[in-house]
Structure 1
């Protein structure tokens, strides 16, 4: 490798194994890097401005990111000032925003806002689900109602496609819905079979379209308010004060 001034660039400080892997990928399109070696390969590739090699490493990194190692890779990307690696970790945090509150809360406000905004990127799709099924139909109708549907395609030639199935099995249910940061919240309840007939079970679920997963979340608490009267007696009259 030579600079424009024809001076040699000394690469003694770069591990020979990493440099060999870079050359094999560049000239032979062969890539085989273990997970525990990804950090070093990304650092060298970023230092040598080998963007295709770095992109390949980051593709492997996106497959192995998890809640246990995410913080380590986040800190490392900032240490080596690799914007591409930082973007990869940010995308993972964004896709798991509510699943990783212990990580997202520790970020600075601007970085946290960036991660939240990433969830709104991409193509918007119209979705629909049956929020109530209070009258049991036949089996095929009930089965079809258990899915979240998305409209795919243009307005004239598109069609409704099944996206995901509800995280519960019931013939009757009643829910309301809300969307926050591209998460779908389904809040209500469904009929549950018990030993003596049925009971209505309160439940709340959260759907993440980036991971295609439902998670049970804290359900609403139904509080029964009772009015109590406190009577104070006097020699002439009695007053009742509702609390």
Structure 2
């Protein structure tokens, strides 16, 4: 009984403003969805360039591979909270503000796209080279090989990598909330931690975990449907 009373005194659910909590949840979902879409596009293109230029001996391919690899390696290694600070001038120029959900989008893209690009490159490398060579021998062009062989064969790995990236982005949005980007992270920090209202922090964390589980389950279902191996 003493433990139950202690729990109730530490977590007081009456202090939660549920409309504000759902608004923050909507901001987090919107920010994550937009970021995942843009990261999927940019990461796919970067990964494709890395794959297509890897091992090529001509000068332009080696130069392009070096530039893209440098970008990917550098921004994949910079901690997200530091990256937000470094990108403040660019964010203010592009978005016109440093406050609110949309202000976090540039940093989210720059941090997650290189990570997904490496996963895309690995997914392409796992495709059976024999299938590619057979398709090339039949007279298929480079783009036909990409869209008719490379992309379909690597799709389960691409979706799996995007699922992992989406879950990472959810964590990034929570960190971005600490500096005023809105969402559940901002609510948990300002209304929960700073105001010493532990229940708000707990509920925000639980909602983020639920979103993570939904993303993972959705990814697993899609992979099961498209993986015919």
What is the TM-score of this pair, normalised by structure 1? 0.19
Report the structure, 1 or 2, having the larger helix content.
2
Report the structure, 1 or 2, having the larger strand content.
1
Structure number with greater Rg is 1
